[in-house]
């Protein structure tokens, strides 16, 4: 499991601007560098180190009646940095993830909040594996979440 131990260096720069009293815009970008030890799996040296490049944009609105809504778009590209050609599942591999989310939030009483979130995520990869079809190297998913929060 040597290739599972990680040293991560993460940076994120975000700008959050109030457009009006009820609307905020957030734009962010970052780079993560994650290093792992080279280990042997099935007699092949593997290196799971990678680099993330991330971009985000979001808009949140405070609406009358205690309602809040937010829209978020995020694009993340993960590039594996291994130089081991025998590690065919990670050599020259790039994964791209697009997330689009919408959240609606309502204050309920003085200490509770009800939130609903929905979205779509698209994961794509150029993973070089002759046993995988294109559909298996990437996927799409719909997400839905309903939450109730209480402040103590």
pTM: 0.80
Q: What is the pLDDT of residues 25-62, one digit of tens each?
A: 999 999 999 888 777 777 877 888 889 999 999 999 99
Strand 94-108 and strand 44-46: the pairing is unpaired
Residues 6+ apart with CB under 8 A from 149: 112, 113, 114, 115
Place of tokens 């200490």: 111
pLDDT digits (tens, 9 = 90+) for 76-117: 999 988 887 777 777 788 999 999 999 999 998 888 999 999
H helix or E strand, kind and range, residue 76: strand 67-80
Q: Which residues contact 151 (CB under 8 A, 6 or more apart)?
A: 111, 112, 113
Contact 71, 101 (CB under 8 A): yes
Higher pLDDT, 30 or 133: 30
The region, left, alpha or beta by phi > 0 then psi within -120 to 50, assigned to residue 65 is: left
- How far apart are alpha carbons 96 and 25 in whole angstroms? 24
pLDDT at 36: 82
């Amino acid at each position: 499991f040597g290739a599972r131990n990680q040293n991560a260096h993460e940076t994120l720069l975000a700008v959050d601007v109030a457009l009006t009293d009820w609307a905020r815009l957030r734009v962010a970008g970052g780079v993560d560098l994650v290093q792992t030890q080279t280990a042997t799996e099935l007699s092949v040296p593997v290196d799971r180190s990678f680099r993330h490049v991330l971009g985000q944009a979001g808009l949140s609105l405070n609406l009358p009646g205690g309602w809040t809504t937010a829209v978020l778009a995020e694009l993340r590209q993960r590039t594996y940095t291994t130089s081991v050609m025998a590690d065919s599942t990670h050599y020259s591999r790039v994964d791209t993830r697009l997330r689009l989310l919408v959240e609606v939030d309502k204050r309920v009483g003085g200490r509770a909040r009800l939130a609903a979130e929905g979205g779509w995520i698209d994961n794509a990869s150029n993973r070089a594996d002759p046993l995988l079809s294109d559909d298996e190297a990437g996927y799409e998913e719909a997400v839905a979440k309903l939450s109730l929060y209480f402040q103590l």
